[in-house]
């Protein structure tokens, strides 16, 4: 995930989101490898991109779940 010009290792919990197709919109939970590096900076409505050697998607934070 790229947020405010920095990249953070995360895992998309796709098993909780169901099947996805290119170009669709979905609500997908994200787990961060080192959550304390990014969670304090995230706010609802924050924009981010998903990056895997290139931008593969973009999103908006809808909810922040406590640890």
Does 67 map to a domain? no
Does 65 map to a domain? no
Residue range of the domain that includes 44: 2-60
Domains contained in the chain, number: 1
The reported pLDDT for the residue numbered 43 is 96
pLDDT tens digits in sequence order for the chain, 67 residues long? 999 999 999 999 999 888 888 888 899 999 999 999 999 999 999 999 999 999 989 999 999 988 7
**CA 19/CA 4 separation, integer angstroms:** 29
Q: What count of Cα atoms within 13 Å lies in the side-chain half-sphere of residue 45?
A: 0
Does 66 map to a domain? no
In this prediction the pTM is: 0.84
Buried b (16+ CB within 10 A) or exposed e, 7-44: ebebebeeeeeeeeeeeeeeebebeeeeeeebeeebee
Does 29 map to a domain? yes
């Amino acid at each position: 995930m790229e947020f405010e010009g920095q990249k953070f290792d995360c895992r998309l919990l796709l098993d909780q989101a169901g099947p996805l197709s290119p170009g669709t919109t979905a609500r997908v939970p994200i787990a961060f490898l080192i959550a304390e590096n990014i969670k304090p900076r995230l706010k609802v409505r924050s924009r981010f991109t998903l990056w895997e050697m290139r931008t593969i998607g973009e999103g908006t934070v809808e909810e922040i779940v406590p640890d």
